[in-house]
Amino acid sequence: MQTRFPSSCDLVHTLSRARETVRLMRMTNPEQTSVLITGGNKGLGLEAARRLGEQGWTIFLGSRDEGRGRAAADKLTAGGANVVMVPLDVTSDESVTDAVRLVREHTDQLDVLINNAGAPGKGVAPADATVEEIHSVYDTNVYGPIRVTHAFLPLLQAAENPRVVMVSSGGGSFTVVTDPEQPFSKFHELAYSSSKAALNMITVRYAQALPKIKFNIATPGEIANRKFAATDMNNHTGALTVTEGTDSILRLAMIDADGPTGIFIDRLGPVAW
């Protein structure tokens, strides 16, 4: 089976149908859709959890900080969501193994994995960047998604329509970084942008090799308008709300069985590589 890379028109049509499709599926399927979100205790992860919880999904809320994770889970539960807090440090093999064990106590399949946990790095200029700085960012942004995806593959493969959403950045796009009109072209660092470019390639390779799982990439911004979402990672300087920032994540999480794989989108549509 060959990986399908749709046209822009196909993609827009598919995304516009996603919400209604999932709503109808839930009316006929008594089982709740399940999702694991890494870095789910704040920012984009927490907002995605809140919005998907409102859809009736079972939320496995991954959090490296157990105390903050439980506080976030309690808040979502108070709002009516079905939440299981999962202690999860994506940089630790042991933590990820324990997370799989915990999720298996609640379900024998996982419908959606959202690899959201990320590290911004310190914005070190290329001339001053060291391997230590690069490695610390890659450990979360690159090795983390690989570690988590690999560990949860059996649960994903047991689902009828499994989806994996990688949360990337416009900074991972060569088109964006080489465009002098884009703010990221003027942010001279090595760790973050290269880690997200690596994540993009990894996602495409997963999509090609595992066609029964939808592997797609979301950036929480508007590339055409040079806007990004306000989160802790950027000291809340973004022009978009955290809710707007999760629009692309939710669209990919809710793609149906006929939807695309191996694509890169923001909340407005396709993003150039």
Write out the catalytic residue numbers: 168, 192, 196
Nearest to 169 by CA among 245, 62, 260, 239: 245
Which tokens hold the place of 230? 């306000």
Let me know: does 164 contact 115? Beta carbons within 8 Å.
Answer: yes
Separation of alpha carbons 171 and 185, rounded Å: 8
Separation of alpha carbons 191 and 197, rounded Å: 10
- Given the DSSP bridges, would you call strands 34-37 and 112-115 parallel, antiparallel or unpaired? parallel
Separation of alpha carbons 239 and 222, rounded Å: 10
User: In angstroms, what CA-CA distances link 86 with 60, 64, 67, 214?
Assistant: 6, 9, 11, 23
Handedness of CA 261, 267, 268, 271 (dihedral sign): negative
Cβ count near 218 (within 10 Å): 29
Separation of alpha carbons 82 and 26, rounded Å: 15
Separation of alpha carbons 32 and 221, rounded Å: 29
Which tokens hold the place of 140? 């979360």
